[in-house]
């Protein structure tokens, strides 16, 4: 039976690997997601029939049904604007589960090590078990992975909850800093890790219980104070990093309960999330350390913005687009808020029928989670061939007749190139300011989620089209159909 279970776990791991591989392309991503889900389903079913669990498989099956039902309901009901918050919550739940697994294993060993433990009879009916007999259970390796599962999981849990609060607007999107914050976080990390170092040395008795409790509390606080100084513009990187941490926490939990498939799945999630985090940091020309500790968004640029925003009506915008032969759409979070992706695709098709070349320029950190814009456009069945990365579209931007910016801010802000005092200075952007004409679709004149003023809106070649993006694009679509 054990051989069958291990073979099934290997099959599940292979499905995970193929599923993640297929997520790399828009046309295979949906199938890859389903393959990974089948792999996890197989792992859960095999775990349920493991004879080592006795009659506990009923509890596992019940949890599978309840959890799967909640997940399916949430995924069905969540709007695309709420997808980043849901991803943050999923990361947090994954971290919390690792904390519970670590604590459950420690409590099991701790209880069995003491004669007055309520469940001792189940471990040693004769009541002759001593702490020395449980020395292998209190091994340094087992206690170390318990600490890692609790430490990484707790940081992921509270960090994800705080990220959810930022993304949903309940805690504000700007970075929050206070004097001595870095020193405080460093001291908190040092104390938490110190408890983790001492825990495998003194795992038993009240000392071990106190050390793990303090480590848990410190880890929970680290998650909060670690995300607090990170500004809204960096949230896609934070979500990716928290996703990686949730995988590492799951891998540590796999070592705790000696479950091979959990170790493999956790390592896959942790490594892929970390790789994505590095890619996104590179796209912003910043290090991960800078993202985590710079307090992005807590300070404003000293640059004096010259000029004024110049509004344009939908009717006037139509006449410009009607003669355009090269059009680039640059989507941002505003497109998700307006749910404008379907009318954007319709406008793109009408522009192509009118003889224009149409492309969609996607910045790696556009939106509020990794791949946010790609998911939106895929939902509207925008051809994958029309999606262009930043490096592909920038060299030809001067030849673009009209660049339509839909709710994007930092990823098109020229201050990143010409304002050394700007927090985003040096960050690669989509150079829409080089296009002949720029249409910036915004609800109002306020700054974006990061709180930074976008100097693009004050450029001579930029025209502001205020209002709901979906209504604006629908108006342009109507104009093309009527005329």
Query: Which positions are catalytic?
Result: 410
| CB contact at 8 A, 248 and 270 | yes
| CB contact at 8 A, 450 and 329 | no
d(CA 269, CA 250): 9
d(CA 39, CA 385): 30
Measured in whole angstroms, the distance separating CA 232 from the mean position of its chain's CA atoms is: 13
Q: Cα torsion at 81, 84, 89, 95 (round to 10°)?
A: 170
DSSP string, 395-419: GGGGG-SEEEEES--GGG-THHHH-
Measured in whole angstroms, the distance separating CA 477 from the mean position of its chain's CA atoms is: 34
3-state secondary structure of 197: helix
| CB contact at 8 A, 426 and 281 | no
| CB contact at 8 A, 140 and 128 | no
How many degrees, rounded to 5, is the angle at CA 433 between CA 430 and CA 438?
105
Q: What is the token pair recorded at 14?
A: 């292979």
The arrangement of strands across the sheet holding 357-362 comes to 387-389, 357-362, 326-331, 402-406, 437-442, 462-466
Distances (CA, A) of 279 to 25, 66, 273, 284: 16, 36, 10, 9
d(CA 36, CA 435): 42
Q: Which is nearest to 89 in space by CA: 164, 156, 170?
A: 164
Residue 27: count of CB within 10 angstroms of its CB: 10
Q: Cα torsion at 271, 190, 198, 111 (round to 10°)?
A: -70
d(CA 241, CA 248): 11
Phi and psi at residue 327, to the nearest 5° = -125, 135
Which residue has 């990220």 as its token pair?
Answer: 163
| CB contact at 8 A, 466 and 311 | yes
């Amino acid at each position: 039976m054990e051989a069958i279970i291990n073979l099934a776990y290997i099959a599940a791991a292979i499905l995970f690997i193929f599923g993640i591989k297929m997520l790399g392309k828009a046309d295979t991503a949906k199938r890859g997601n389903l393959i990974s889900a089948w792999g996890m389903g197989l792992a859960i079913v095999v775990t349920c029939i493991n004879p080592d669990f006795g009659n506990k498989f009923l509890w596992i099956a019940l949890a599978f049904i309840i959890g799967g039902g909640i997940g399916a309901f949430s995924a069905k009901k969540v709007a695309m604007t709420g997808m980043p918050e849901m991803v943050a919550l999923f990361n947090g739940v994954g971290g919390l589960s690792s904390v519970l697994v670590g604590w459950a294993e420690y409590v099991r060993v701790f209880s069995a090590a003491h004669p007055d433990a309520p469940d001792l009879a189940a471990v040693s009916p004769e009541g002759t078990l001593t702490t020395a007999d449980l020395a292998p259970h209190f091994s340094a390796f087992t206690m170390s992975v318990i600490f890692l599962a609790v430490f990484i999981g707790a940081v992921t849990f509270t960090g994800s909850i705080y990220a959810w609060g930022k993304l949903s607007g309940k805690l504000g999107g700007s970075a929050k800093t206070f004097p001595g914050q870095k020193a405080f976080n460093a001291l908190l990390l040092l104390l938490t890790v110190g408890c983790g170092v001492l825990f495998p040395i003194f795992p038993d008795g009240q000392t071990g219980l106190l050390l793990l409790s303090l480590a848990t509390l410190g880890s929970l606080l680290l998650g909060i104070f670690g995300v607090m100084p990170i500004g809204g513009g960096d949230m896609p990187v934070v979500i990716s990093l928290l996703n990686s941490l949730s995988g590492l926490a799951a891998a540590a939990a796999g070592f705790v309960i000696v479950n091979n498939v959990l170790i493999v799945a956790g390592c896959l999630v942790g490594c892929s999330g970390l790789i994505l985090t590095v890619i996104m940091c590179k796209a912003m020309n910043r290090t991960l350390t800078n993202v985590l500790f710079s307090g992005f968004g807590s300070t404003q640029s000293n640059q004096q913005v010259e000029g004024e925003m110049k509004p344009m009506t939908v009717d006037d915008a139509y006449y410009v687009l009607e003669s355009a032969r090269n059009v680039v759409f640059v989507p941002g979070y505003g497109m998700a808020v307006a749910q404008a992706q379907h009318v954007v695709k319709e406008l793109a098709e009408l522009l192509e029928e009118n003889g224009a070349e149409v492309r969609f320029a996607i910045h790696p950190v556009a939106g509020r989670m990794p791949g946010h814009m790609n998911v939106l456009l895929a939902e509207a069945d925008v051809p994958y061939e029309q999606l262009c990365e930043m490096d592909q579209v920038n060299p030809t931007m001067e030849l673009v007749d009209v660049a339509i910016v839909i709710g994007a801010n930092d990823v098109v802000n020229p201050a990143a190139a010409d304002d050394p005092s700007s927090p985003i200075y040096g960050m690669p952007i989509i150079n829409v300011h080089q296009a002949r004409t720029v249409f910036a679709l915004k609800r109002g004149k306020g700054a974006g989620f990061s709180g930074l003023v976008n100097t693009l809106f004050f450029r001579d070649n930029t025209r502001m089209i205020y209002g709901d993006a979906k209504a604006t694009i629908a108006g342009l679509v109507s104009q093309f159909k009527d005329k």
